[in-house]
Amino acid sequence: MYIANENRYEKMIYNRCGDSGLMLPAVSLGLWHNFGDNADYNNMKELCHTAFDNGITHFDLANNYGPAPGSAESNFGRILKDDMMQYRDEMIISTKAGYDMWPGPYGNWGSRKYLIASLDQSLKRMGLDYVDIFYHHRMDPDTPLEETMGALEQIVRSGKALYVGLSNYDGQTMERAAQILEDRHVPFIINQNKYSIFVRLPEENGLLDSAVKEKKGVITFSPLAQGLLSDRYLNGIPEDSRIKTDGRFLKAEAIDVDSLNALNEIAQSRGQSLAQMALAWLMNKDAVTSVLIGASKKQQILDNIKAMENISFTSDELARIDAIADKYSNFMANNN
């Protein structure tokens, strides 16, 4: 029987999510990878236990996480049922819908039918009555924004979600959505986007500025650029790396050893690993509420949360990091 660490809240930093009443841990656990049916169940449990024992109260899922789609929610639901449901009221559980989930015209994008049906399926897989945060996973170019936001309104009114969020939205569309949701008194509190030293999309598409303007939280995914911003690739591409074994999300063409080692030199001077510095760089942003990490091993979680020990940067460090990121951007432009 799992008994949580009684000191689990002593070291974690909790940040207010926009101007809402909800606090999120500075580090959250994402279940995008390593929680599908191809993963070891006992390792999944150890990852969740380790996270919670160290104050990570937020567990982030989506309907299509796997493989197969839906299996991450099913496996997480099994973990809850086996030994964590007693801590449900101490946990923030989020899920999403917006990407392809089942065949036919009603299993994708942002229609009212899809979003409501998808959340019903997610709740069944996890064995829950409600989620704390439900996200629309991506902008839909064809469904009226009012319909998608109306579905989020209905979901909250039905008690199936406490708060709503938007994922992969740009700043302009998020502001339009925020106005619709505010007019309907829907508790929209958070945006989720890919963001790292190497991927500055929320800066480029106006999301960070819009989040501050609208007083919404921001949670970042892929903060280590699919493992690129770690020690794994400082000497090239290991045989057991994700590039070699998967290749869907990180390509060999993305490896610029010079840029990685230049960043690693800065990290070492700060007393951090490259991964810890990459996470701390995000935590240093006023607009960022929480950073979503993924993990395949318990030790990765323990190492990543140490990033909180030094999240301050000198102006010189930030300028050097930006210069390296610019160099890497040019590298990518010339190699793709």
Tens digits of residue pLDDT in 180-233: 999 999 999 999 999 999 999 999 999 999 999 999 999 999 999 988 999 988
pLDDT band, residue 239 (cuts 50/70/90): low
Give the CA distances from residue 293 to residues 93, 124, 128, 247, in Å, rounded to whole numbers and listed in that order: 15, 25, 23, 19
Q: With a cut of 90, say whether residue 171 has pLDDT above it.
A: yes
**CATH number of 14-231+285-297: 3.10.20.30, 3.40.50.300, 3.40.50.1970, 3.20.20.100?**
3.20.20.100
**φ/ψ bin of 186: left (φ > 0), alpha (ψ from -120 to 50), beta (otherwise):** beta
CA pair distance 298, 118, nearest whole angstrom: 31
Q: With a cut of 70, say whether residue 249 has pLDDT above it.
A: no
pLDDT digits (tens, 9 = 90+) for 266-312: 999 999 999 999 999 999 999 999 999 999 999 999 999 999 999 99
Structure confidence at residue 335 (pLDDT): 73
Q: With a cut of 70, say whether residue 165 has pLDDT above it.
A: yes
pLDDT digits (tens, 9 = 90+) for 29-54: 999 999 999 999 999 999 999 999 99
Structure confidence at residue 332 (pLDDT): 80
First to last CA, the chain: 51
- The residues, any chain, with a CB within 8 Å of residue 186's CB and separated by 6 or more, are 149, 152, 153, 156, 164
Peptide bond into 67 cis (omega under 30): yes
**φ/ψ bin of 50: left (φ > 0), alpha (ψ from -120 to 50), beta (otherwise):** alpha
Structure confidence at residue 256 (pLDDT): 85
Q: Could you tell me the pTM of the whole model?
A: 0.95
CA pair distance 133, 166, nearest whole angstrom: 10
pLDDT band, residue 241 (cuts 50/70/90): low
